[in-house]
Structure 1
Amino acid sequence: MSTGTAVQDAAGRRDAARALLQRPILTATHDPDNFDLVRRHSAALRAMFADRLGYTLIVETEFARLVKAPLDAAAPLRPLHRTTGGDFGAVGYTYLALTAAALLAPGRGDQIPMSVLVDQIRADAAAQGIEIADGLSERRHLVAALQALMEWGVVGETDLGEDQDREDREEGEPVLTVCRSLLRHLTAFALHDLPGPSAAIAARPETPRRRLYRRLVEDPFTARDDLDPEALDVLIRERADLARRLDEDFGLVLEVRTEGALAYDPDGSLTDVPFPGPGTVNQAALLLISELVDIADPVPGSAVHVDTDTLQNTLSDLVAAHARSWRGEYVRDVTALRRDVTALLVRLGLARAHDDGLLLAAPAARYRPTIAESPQP
């Protein structure tokens, strides 16, 4: 193999691995280019993900599914997002599970009318003693679940035409086409075999090297205090090797400081939470960081504790200054804005929840805006 071909293959594997990290479900219909790239390098990718991260890569003719392993308890939570904004709550996940189960009900083919799906969801919920609301609330949760499944490529809407109407289909109602082979791989394993719900998210015993590598790949920032002694020892002794692997596998750059470690993407594209970014919550979080760092004036590399009153008052001042450009619901309810901004900072690894407020992590100071000086004429 020539040097040029080897370099191209390495770049292709890295691009395919980045695509899978960003979207663990790739389909031939929704993302044909990345799906073809993954199929081309599937053997190498399976070995790399299994060895480095303990992940399982499933590649079939219609889809590629990267099944990830649970992170440890100190890792930031990553809830599923609704397309309309906000996170899936307990009720949202309940509807998602009921919808997926109904689509896999015995005797169902690859197409199912919407009314039949709804009836199956209600029957399954009743059989399990799950109370679901009627009316608008039910429709909203069902739509959110179906939108998530459509985004993943599990279901799609089909127009059967007048000559293909089914007996169980109401006139004019939508019919869903189901990719049952992908649907079976949404979870890492069969849930009915588990002893209880907690077993589905329990982290498996792993080597310190794999635990550390997984945190570096998946988390924006890994605090030194979050690492157990074995993982910290790996970070210190194998720093150069870790940096090489992160660059070769995913194009990430490792930075290690006193407060912890960061594997960042110079391109800024490998993330599921763009920050800084557009929107009221992103803008408020960025400005809040700047204000809090100015107020606390912390020693470089140290975390900052911010009490709830300071958070509320600082955000209130920011809302007053930006009321015309920020979303009205947040302008009217600063407490809701504080909740969502705090959740964003925690998800990014830039803060931790605290009994009274939050603990702003040292890397948050990176996002403090600086004034660029214009050159003198």
Structure 2
Amino acid sequence: MEQQEYAIGATRVAAGRTDGRKGGVGATDAAVAVREAARPGGAADGAPDAVPPTRADAGQALDPELSPDPGLLRLAHWFAAATPGTADDLCAASFGLYPARHFGAPADPAAGAPADPDVSWWHGPTAHASASRRTREAQDSRGEGALRRARLDEAALPVVRSGAKPGRPGRHRRPERAQPGVRLAQDRSVPEGVAQNAAELPGAERRIAARLLLAHPLVTASGPHADGFPLIRRHRDWLTERFDTLLGYRLVVGPWHARLCKAGLGPGGARRLENPATGTPFTPAAYGQLALALALLVDAPEQLPYRRLLDAMRAAAPELAAAPADTTAALAALSSWQVLGDLPEDPADGAFVLTVDRELARAVPAGPPALADGPADLIRRACEAEPATAVRRLLAETPAVLAADLPEDRRTWLHEHRLSGPAALAEFLGLETELRAEGVALLDPAEELTDLALPGTGTLARAALLLVERLVEEVRPLPGEAVEGDVPVADALIDGVLGDIADDHALPARYLADRTALRRDALDLLHRLGLITPTPRTTWRLRPPAARYAPAPDLRPAPGNGRHSRPHA
């Protein structure tokens, strides 16, 4: 079975593409570099530096059956020494297991200017949720964690729509016009009415499979997305060709799992990994524990006592000792990827046995650091690609691509292919194209091909939406006003708006007691969606796509009522 080999004696490294394109680490065909066993702690000839030697603590010997992979052990040291942001970028570069992220609701041309691709996001149509009056019963039914009006009349502020859609069909599909009686035989992942006729079924299946892989790059036959695995297997040749042609991604489909090897997103563009159980972001130490555990699991026995794994991790790299919470988070992530079986709720005593899937453990790394001089070099190599491939990757993975953010060669390609380039991806993934003067966004009206949603459910998502719409109303440039992309936002304005939100809405106790936490979490969510960005001087700048979520500007002067005002018709 074709898979990345990380067993003892071999380590995969990235190689150039035969067609001349650069796909980045994890997106190219791989060559095998044999590890030199005669040089303990050393790297193969030509490697940039040596793998840190494995050694044991005093009184603790190395486990002869658990020998760590040198490339992953080297990666573990890089993680542990990195800053939080660099560790996130390094995770995307080495594993490529991040989900795609897209805006949901399309802009409504009736709510603003026509949908002209030369119109700025600042002045174009918006996707703002219209105001609607809710009864007290409806307010009470939203639950304890919902955001609601507390001190002002509830009709005075637009009600934020929830991202959840009750009764919607299953995940990872584009809404289709229903035709009664049409159904994919023996496939529960496609509901009745997903295609107009039998001739369209292969196209609908391929779109579902492509969306699933882009949202979840590692899909197994027994995991949470098992319903979509038969579609991936059925269309693997077509999917392999399309992912390679459009995005330079390598797709490996085996009997029991499918792995889409994504490239990195470059410095500052990565998605942070979070503890699946608590949602706590990974620290560099947690990333280090993840790579260290993986270095041992790629050739571990299928049944491995939990305590034995912890002892082997300490013996292999005692200098990487981390807090128990970091180790727990690392093993929880491996369990969510099904490298490890289910973990007990309280693993403190260690009296249980882990089930190890070596095949999935070897599929997790998208590209080892064998050719890289260090973390920064690996992050750079992982996102290298020709302009067309690089821009299409950004369109497929990120909420919006702004021309001002791109290097000259990629900006030129986007300008020359602003219609055909996004259209090919939109057709492939079932998305809608939104062209604006500043750039392009691929939208997912089903709000499924994303890990973050705005509007969204929960207090934080609603508070963040209120914050961004009010900031846009305050600082949006007027038509004809010279503006180069982002608009600065004063800290005092952010604090004032958040204070109004806290005063006007019933927030959870932790946000009422800690306004700093509200500011931090709301700005973090908007930053991850690409709607606001920090500056080196710790201030913030509002990005043009943020105007999608604000009410359409009323540029007409308000009728006056003074003695010299013209009567209003």
Residue of structure 2 equivalent to 1:327? 508
The answer to whether residue 431 in structure 2 is matched with residue 252 in structure 1 is yes
Kept in 1, the 8 Å contact 2:400–2:439? The answer is yes
Amino acid at match of 2:441: L
Q: Supply the distance in 1 between the matched residues of 2:370 and 2:390 (Cα, whole angstroms).
A: 27
- CA deviations 1:159-216 (Å, max 9, x no partner) are 9xxxxxxxxxx99922211111111121112345643223332245422111111111
Residue of structure 2 equivalent to 1:318? 501
216-225 or 332-341, larger mean C-alpha shift: 332-341
Kept in 1, the 8 Å contact 2:395–2:422? The answer is no
85-94 or 343-352, larger mean C-alpha shift: 85-94
Q: Supply the distance in 2 between the matched residues of 1:172 and 1:342 (Cα, whole angstroms).
A: 39
Question: For 1:156, what is the secondary structure of its paired residue?
Answer: coil
Question: For 2:461, what is the secondary structure of its paired residue?
Answer: helix
By how many angstroms is 1:217 displaced? 0.8
Match of 1:150 among 311, 320, 335: 335
Question: For 2:380, what is the secondary structure of its paired residue?
Answer: coil
Kept in 2, the 8 Å contact 1:76–1:347? The answer is no
- CA deviations 1:238-290 (Å, max 9, x no partner) are 23322431232101122221121111112221101122212232122111112
Q: Check 1:369–1:152 CA distance in 2 against 1; reply closer, same or farther (3 A cut).
A: farther
Percent identity between the aligned chains? 38
Structure 1 length normalisation: TM-score?
0.84
Which has the larger share of helix? 1
- CA deviations 1:123-177 (Å, max 9, x no partner) are 2231xx22423xxxx1x22222222112212111389xxxxxxxxxx99922211
Residue of structure 2 equivalent to 1:278? 457
The answer to whether residue 320 in structure 2 is matched with residue 130 in structure 1 is yes
Residue of structure 2 equivalent to 1:351? 532
Kept in 2, the 8 Å contact 1:49–1:55? The answer is yes
Residue of structure 2 equivalent to 1:110? 302
Gaps in structure 1 of 5+ consecutive residues: 160-169, 372-377
Q: Check 1:294–1:222 CA distance in 2 against 1; reply closer, same or farther (3 A cut).
A: same
Q: Supply the distance in 1 between the matched residues of 2:308 and 2:462 (Cα, whole angstroms).
A: 43
Question: For 2:341, what is the secondary structure of its paired residue?
Answer: strand
- CA deviations 1:293-337 (Å, max 9, x no partner) are 232243368532112232233223322332x3x333232222222
Larger RCO: 1 or 2 (CA < 8 Å, sep 6+): 2
Gaps in structure 2 of 5+ consecutive residues: 1-195, 554-569
By how many angstroms is 1:369 displaced? 5.4
Question: For 2:320, what is the secondary structure of its paired residue?
Answer: coil
Match of 1:364 among 539, 546, 560: 546
Residue of structure 2 equivalent to 1:63? 257
Matches within 5 A, 1:94-243: 94-104=288-298, 108-126=300-318, 129-133=319-323, 138=324, 140-157=325-342, 173-191=351-369, 194-203=372-381, 204-243=383-422
Question: For 2:363, what is the secondary structure of its paired residue?
Answer: coil
Question: For 1:263, what is the secondary structure of its paired residue?
Answer: strand
Residue of structure 1 equivalent to 2:489? 306
By how many angstroms is 1:233 displaced? 2.6
Q: Supply the distance in 1 between the matched residues of 2:239 and 2:287 (Cα, whole angstroms).
A: 30
Amino acid at match of 1:337: L
Question: For 1:254, what is the secondary structure of its paired residue?
Answer: strand
Q: Supply the distance in 2 between the matched residues of 1:183 and 1:199 (Cα, whole angstroms).
A: 24
Residue of structure 2 equivalent to 1:46? 240
Q: Supply the distance in 2 between the matched residues of 1:131 and 1:32 (Cα, whole angstroms).
A: 36
Residue of structure 1 equivalent to 2:68? none
Q: Supply the distance in 2 between the matched residues of 1:370 and 1:117 (Cα, whole angstroms).
A: 57
Kept in 2, the 8 Å contact 1:77–1:347? The answer is no
Q: Check 1:7–1:240 CA distance in 2 against 1; reply closer, same or farther (3 A cut).
A: farther
Q: Supply the distance in 1 between the matched residues of 2:343 and 2:520 (Cα, whole angstroms).
A: 40
Kept in 1, the 8 Å contact 2:289–2:320? The answer is no
Kept in 1, the 8 Å contact 2:473–2:550? The answer is no
Amino acid at match of 1:66: L
Residue of structure 1 equivalent to 2:138? none
Q: Supply the distance in 2 between the matched residues of 1:93 and 1:313 (Cα, whole angstroms).
A: 37
Amino acid at match of 2:281: D
Greater C-alpha radius of gyration: 2
Residue of structure 2 equivalent to 1:88? 282
Kept in 1, the 8 Å contact 2:286–2:322? The answer is no
Q: How many residues are matched?
A: 347
Question: For 1:239, what is the secondary structure of its paired residue?
Answer: coil
Q: Check 1:282–1:171 CA distance in 2 against 1; reply closer, same or farther (3 A cut).
A: closer
Q: Check 1:195–1:315 CA distance in 2 against 1; reply closer, same or farther (3 A cut).
A: same
